[in-house]
Structure 1
Amino acid sequence: MKYTKDQIELMEAKIIKLLEENGEMRFGKIAKLLIHSGMAESSFIVSIILQNGCKEHKNFKGNDLFTSPKTGMWRLSEGRELTK
């Protein structure tokens, strides 16, 4: 399925909100939540969004949003984290 830019931005915002609430999450859990909410049809698009927002990944698209999971856990980049 092709996603529009608006749909991708909504999914990105949802991922940011999830990570703000939980601190860090595994990729599978993030994908499962987006799929069950009806935003995504597969985990592939979720992985693309995470990779495009990670400056350490080869597919980085210029918005430093997420930190690469060396332990399998994704989290927001230090500049993106909000204090609670």
Structure 2
Amino acid sequence: DWHHLEQHRFARRVAGAMEQLVRERDVKALVVVAPPRTLADLREALHADVKARIIAEVHKDLTRHPIDEIAQHLTAEH
């Protein structure tokens, strides 16, 4: 299914961007927020260096929420 293929490609692109960010900015900790299926794809695609910096995962789709609501969701979770 084309939709699922694109989801996998998206996860690989995000994983690559996260790796670049970790290396360029020496990121020490990451919180990953994504829908469960995307989170699973990300886990498979992430480099070990990036995985080692993940301190929390939030299994939610917050893409349609404004920034202030996202902050509320994250602080309510942790």
| TM category, shorter | 0.3 to 0.5
Higher helix share: 2
Greater relative CO, 1 or 2 (CA 8 Å, sep 6+)? 2
TM-score by length of 2: 0.39
TM-score (norm 1): 0.37
Q: Which has the larger radius of gyration?
A: 2
